[in-house]
């Protein structure tokens, strides 16, 4: 059959599959696609007529001896038994094209074994195989009309030697096959089991099984061992009372067993047992008749090697058909067995490799790609061999092989044969085109993935280089950066502090789908107390060069908001986003290891900017007071209640609450220092004060929002809803330095709220500290300070320190209970009455 092509006809399409099983049931085909659904396909009408739905995906199936019972093993290790329709071919087209859906309930469960891996049915006996600890456990159960009963059970030790592939082997399912002797009438009645020549049956399985016509169960274990035991177990004890093991090992293939069957070579030729392994090793076992020189009959074991891995296989009289999931091959068994018959019979085992020059037997490629399931071969009315196959793309194919023409000596093809030849060539072209399309699709997938990966690496290289250069040059901005601003918004009569983050892309790269903008909000309270921060993620669709993306998020305005708050901006990219959903689904089918690598690797995170929001950023700026010399009065809850009672002419005898006076702190900054750092060289005193106030509230003297600051006095409301006042004025310190009077700008913070005063004072000092750390401006010669002023300041600090020590208990070192926090705050205000001057 070398050089011949086959005719392929597609009957149905079930979609892409990962695994499949198929068995013939009369003119129908029962197909399992590795899902919860099983299909009964009518071969006459060429359509699905019944769909069986189970609770979980199906792993294996088998027909009972009556050809009406279907046994199904699912992933939950439950073995179901359901009945198929007797009249499988009488489905009328008048009933419609929609298949019948049949739900298989839990009442159909025969066995619930969490370790079950494989099973078969013979003579109304269910044989199951499970892996329990380090033993292969065999269980025989009766499935007759009298009920489901357990007959016997025995174990076979599993292989325990050190092997790299041992764990993978144990996860595979064993292969079970039932053999009958040719003399058994039951063997001819059962279509899904095999019959062996009586001589080979007796030589392999013993005289007892041959005399009793007991069926033999052959099990190919995942470790490669071939074990057998009689179905009708004899007494398990010998005459001496010793335990007799029911199972025997007669060969080891040293690789997982995929298929076990029989073949008859020639019209009256020898019959042999065929075993094929997952890695391509083939074992042929045949019987040698008693020779004329008086030598007894024996078995001959012949090995042959083909290219693997073998996914599925089947056998007819003289040929073995097997698929490697890449292509379908045909191997002539007669060419392997005939040379071995003339060899010396002194050696019981003959090993034949594929590359042996003495026996150059090679498999023929049939040009049918991606086959993962095969049924038993059948003979068409024209005498050709027909196979039913299920491909990885989910197609049910009828493969028709041309008749064997090895003995034909015809020099010219007939017209009918020429037409068939053309059909075969067209079918081969179609198969090659399908394979080329799959390869082209995979190549495009890899190219697209490499392009996306190259684009991501360019963005990573761009950001990392910009961050490295930014450490050397302070004014250098990254081409991809963020800006953060905060403003107050009223929703449903509730004020909320809204943070707006603007992502700007000034680079030549596009931030497309898969990139995520991550904002991590972390308050100073959570950092000091070891608390957790809150992270927000915003998926980006497409951000071209020069475009901006604006996102907003609310901050808590109740007690959970503790300023200052740090906002860390970063860009993230998940590696799974390299593929779109359709490409990732195809990759999961074709390359499971790579898809799992993309899932578990994680993501790329690139840090952009870090911003700090303090009390100055969270102020609600209002209209300044007309005179600018007092802060608006704060009405307490007690005063509001008293006013309400007075309006209702309800008099209370409680004394009035004392009025709260505003607290004041101040910061002194050299005017010359501010003019240089804020780029205001020739600025008047009033304009300098306004510019300093704008810089404190807006971050820069020319920033957005400066129209809200038109005077050196600003009244606002803090995050705690208490009113505050910011005042800047230029004063002269006459006794500060030895060079004469010093002009400074005094920044005052006034409020009745202690938290507002402390928070704003800290925010002002933080902004001044940024100016002091600016390396772009070279510091000049420090001013010569007056010694007497420094001494007075030191004495003042020593007195305050002594007062602070008085609040502590000398024995325990803790605060006394009679002292309150108000006394400590009074010390804080005294500490800021004579602030040090920043020059």
Predicted local distance difference test score (pLDDT) of residue 186: 55
pLDDT the model gives residue 821: 61
Nearest 5°: the CA angle 461, 463, 469 is 100
- Of 125-129, 242-246, 415-419, 444-448, the one with minimum mean pLDDT is 242-246
| pLDDT value at residue 774 | 67
**Maximum CA pair distance of the chain?**
138
DSSP secondary structure string for all residues of 560-585: T--SSEEEEEEEEEEGGGGS-HHHHH
Q: Which residue has the higher pLDDT, 244 or 107?
A: 107
| Helical pair 821-831 and 787-806, crossing angle rounded to 10 deg | 180
Distance of alpha carbon 738 from alpha carbon 31, whole angstroms = 101
What's the confidence (pLDDT) of residue 794? Answer: 67
- pTM for the model: 0.52
Taking the alpha carbons of 435, 436, 441, 444 in that order, is the dihedral positive or negative?
positive
Task: Determine the Cα–Cα distance for residues 333 and 344; give it in Å rounded to an integer.
Answer: 19
Q: What is the mean pLDDT of residues 475-484?
A: 80
Q: State mean pLDDT over 280-309.
A: 80
| Pairing between β-strand 100-103 and β-strand 47-53 as defined by DSSP bridges | parallel
Q: Which residue's entry shows tokens 């927000």? A: 536
Residues 6+ positions from 649 with CB-CB distance below 8 Å: none
Greater confidence (115 vs 239) lies with 115
Q: Percentage of the chain with pLDDT > 70?
A: 68
Please state, in angstroms and rounded to a whole number, the distance separating the CA atoms of residues 835 and 326.
84
Q: Give all domains of the chain, ordered by start, each with its CATH number.
A: 462-612 (2.60.40.10), 620-799+823-838 (no CATH)
Task: Find the mean pLDDT for residues 618-636.
Answer: 55
Average pLDDT across the chain, whole number: 76
Which structure tokens are listed for 808? 């502590």
Using CA atoms, how far apart are residues 425 and 5, in angstroms rounded to an integer? 7
Whether pLDDT at 219 is above 90: yes
User: Is pLDDT larger for residue 49 or for residue 142?
Assistant: 49
Q: Are 15 and 35 contacting, i.e. CB atoms less than 8 angstroms apart?
A: no
β-pair type (194-196, 175-181)? parallel
pLDDT at 469 over 60: yes
- Strand, coil or helix: 133: coil
pLDDT at 409 over 70: no
Q: What is the residue-wise DSSP string for 603-640?
A: EEEEEEEEEEE-TTTT-EE-PPPSSSSSPPPPPPHHHH
The answer to whether residue 41 scores a pLDDT higher than 50 is: yes
Residue 265 confidence (pLDDT) above 80: no
What are the tens digits of pLDDT across the range 790-822? 666 667 666 766 766 666 555 444 444 444 466
- Residues 392 and 17: beta-carbon distance below 8 Å: yes
Instruction: Report pLDDT for 768.
Output: 87
Q: Which residue(s) pair with 314 in the sheet?
A: 321
**Cα–Cα dist 141/124, whole Å:** 9
If pLDDT is split at 50, 70 and 90, which confidence band does 99 have? confident
Per-residue pLDDT of 695-714, as tens digits, reads 888 865 444 555 667 888 98
Instruction: Return the number of other C-beta atoms located less than 10 Å from residue 786's C-beta.
Output: 17
Distance between CA 284 and CA 333 in Å, rounded? Answer: 9
Taking 90 as the threshold, does the pLDDT of residue 312 lie above it? Answer: yes
- Mean pLDDT for the stretch of residues 255-269: 81
User: What pairs with residue 157 in β-bridges?
Assistant: 135
Phi-psi region of 464 (alpha: psi -120 to 50; beta: other; left: phi over 0): alpha
Structural contact between residues 747 and 667, judged by C-beta atoms closer than 8 angstroms: yes
Mean pLDDT of 285-291: 77
Residues contacting residue 268 through CB under 8 Å, at least 6 positions apart: none
Look up residue 290 and give its DSSP letter: P
pLDDT for the residue 267: 57
Find residue 284's DSSP bridge partners: 274, 302
Q: List phi, psi (to 5°) of 461.
A: -65, -40
Cα–Cα distance measured from residue 19 to residue 372, given in angstroms and rounded to the nearest whole number: 7
Using one digit for the tens of pLDDT, what is the confidence trace for 119-140? 999 888 899 999 888 889 998 8
Tell me the pLDDT tens digit for each residue of 750-797. 988 878 888 888 888 888 888 887 655 555 555 555 555 566 666 766
Phi, psi of 217 (to 5 degrees): -100, 120
Dump pLDDT digits (tens) for 677-695: 888 877 888 888 988 888 8
CB-count burial class (<10 Å; 0-12, 13-18, 19+) for 369: buried
Higher-confidence residue: 34 or 588? Answer: 34
| Whether the predicted pLDDT of 596 surpasses 80 | no
Worst-scoring range by mean pLDDT, 78-87, 367-376, 499-508, 598-607? Answer: 598-607
């Amino acid at each position: 059959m070398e050089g011949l092509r086959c005719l392929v006809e597609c009957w149905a399409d079930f979609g892409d599959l990962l695994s499949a099983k198929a068995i013939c049931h009369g003119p129908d085909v029962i197909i399992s696609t590795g899902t919860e659904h099983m299909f009964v396909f009518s071969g006459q009408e060429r359509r699905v007529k019944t769909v069986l739905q189970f609770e979980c995906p199906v792993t294996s199936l088998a027909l009972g001896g009556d050809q009406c019972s279907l046994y199904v093993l699912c992933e939950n290790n439950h073995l179901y038994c359901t009945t198929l329709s007797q009249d499988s071919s009488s489905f009328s087209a008048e009933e419609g094209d929609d298949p019948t859906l049949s739900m298989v309930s839990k009442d159909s469960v025969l066995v619930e074994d969490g370790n079950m891996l494989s099973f078969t049915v013979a003579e109304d006996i269910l044989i199951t195989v499970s892996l329990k600890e380090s033993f292969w456990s065999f269980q025989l159960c009766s499935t007759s009309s009298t009920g489901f009963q357990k007959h016997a059970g025995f174990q076979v030790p599993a292989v325990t030697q050190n092997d790299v592939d041992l764990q993978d082997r144990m996860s595979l399912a064993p292969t079970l096959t039932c053999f009958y002797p040719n003399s058994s009438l039951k063997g001819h009645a059962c279509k899904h089991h095999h019959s062996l020549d009586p001589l080979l049956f007796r030589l392999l399985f013993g005289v007892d099984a041959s005399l009793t016509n007991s069926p033999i169960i052959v099990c190919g274990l995942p470790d490669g061992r071939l074990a057998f035991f009689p179905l009708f177990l004899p007494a398990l004890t010998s005459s001496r009372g010793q335990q007799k093991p029911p199972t025997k090992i007669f060969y080891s293939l040293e690789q997982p067993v995929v298929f076990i069957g029989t073949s008859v070579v020639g019209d009256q030729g020898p019959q042999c047992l065929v075993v094929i392994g997952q890695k391509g090793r083939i074992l042929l076992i045949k019987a040698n008749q008693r020779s004329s020189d008086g030598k007894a009959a024996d078995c001959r074991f012949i090995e042959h090697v083909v290219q693997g891995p073998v996914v599925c296989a089947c056998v007819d009289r003289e040929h073995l058909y097997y698929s490697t999931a890449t292509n379908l091959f045909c191997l002539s068994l007669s060419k392997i067995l005939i040379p071995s018959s003339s060899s010396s019979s002194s050696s019981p085992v003959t090993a034949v490799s594929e590359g042996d020059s003495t026996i150059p037997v090679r498999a023929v490629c049939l040009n049918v790609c991606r086959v993962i399931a095969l049924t038993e071969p059948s003979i068409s009315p024209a005498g050709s061999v027909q196979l039913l196959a299920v491909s990885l793309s989910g197609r049910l194919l009828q493969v028709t092989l041309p008749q064997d023409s090895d003995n034909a000596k015809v020099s010219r093809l007939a017209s009918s044969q020429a037409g068939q030849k053309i059909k075969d060539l067209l079918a081969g072209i179609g198969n090659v085109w399908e394979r080329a399309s799959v390869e082209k699709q995979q190549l495009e997938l890899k190219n697209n993935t490499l392009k996306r990966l190259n684009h991501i690496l360019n963005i990573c290289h761009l950001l990392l280089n910009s961050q490295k250069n930014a450490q050397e040059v302070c004014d250098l901005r990254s081409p991809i950066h963020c800006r953060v601003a905060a403003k107050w918004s009223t929703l449903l009569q509730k004020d909320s502090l809204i943070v707006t983050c603007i992502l700007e892309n000034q680079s030549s790269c596009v931030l497309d789908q898969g990139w995520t903008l991550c904002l991590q909000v972390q308050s100073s309270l959570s950092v000091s107390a070891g608390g957790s921060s809150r992270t927000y993620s915003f998926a980006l669709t497409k951000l071209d060069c020069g475009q901006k993306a604006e996102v907003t998020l609310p901050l808590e305005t109740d007690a959970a908001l503790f300023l200052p708050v740090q906002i860390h901006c970063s860009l993230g990219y998940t590696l799974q986003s390299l593929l779109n959903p359709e490409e990732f689904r195809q990759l999961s089918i074709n390359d499971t290891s790579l898809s799992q690598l993309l899932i578990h690797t994680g993501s790329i995170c690139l840090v952009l900017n870090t911003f700090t929001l303090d009390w100055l950023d969270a102020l609600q700026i209002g209209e300044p007071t007309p005179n600018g010399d007092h802060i608006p009065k704060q009405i307490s809850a007690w005063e509001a209640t008293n006013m309400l009672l007075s309006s209702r002419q309800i008099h209370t005898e409680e004394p009035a609450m004392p009025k709260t006076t505003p607290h004041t702190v101040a910061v002194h900054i050299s005017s010359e220092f501010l003019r240089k750092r804020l780029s205001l060289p020739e600025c008047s005193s009033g304009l300098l004060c306004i510019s300093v106030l704008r810089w404190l509230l807006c971050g820069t003297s020319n920033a957005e929002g400066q129209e809200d600051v038109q005077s050196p006095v600003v009244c606002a409301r803090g995050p705690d809803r208490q009113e505050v006042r910011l005042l800047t004025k230029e004063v002269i310190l006459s006794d500060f330095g030895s060079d004469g009077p010093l002009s400074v700008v005094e920044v005052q913070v006034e409020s009745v709220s202690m938290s507002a005063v402390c928070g704003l004072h800290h925010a002002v000092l933080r902004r001044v500290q940024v100016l002091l750390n600016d390396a772009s401006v070279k510091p000049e010669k420090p001013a010569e300070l007056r010694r007497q002023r420094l001494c007075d300041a030191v004495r003042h600090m020593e007195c305050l320190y002594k007062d602070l020590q008085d609040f502590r208990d000398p024995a325990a070192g803790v605060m006394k209970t009679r002292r309150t926090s108000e006394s400590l705050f009074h010390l804080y205000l005294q500490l800021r009455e004579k602030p040090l001057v920043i020059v």
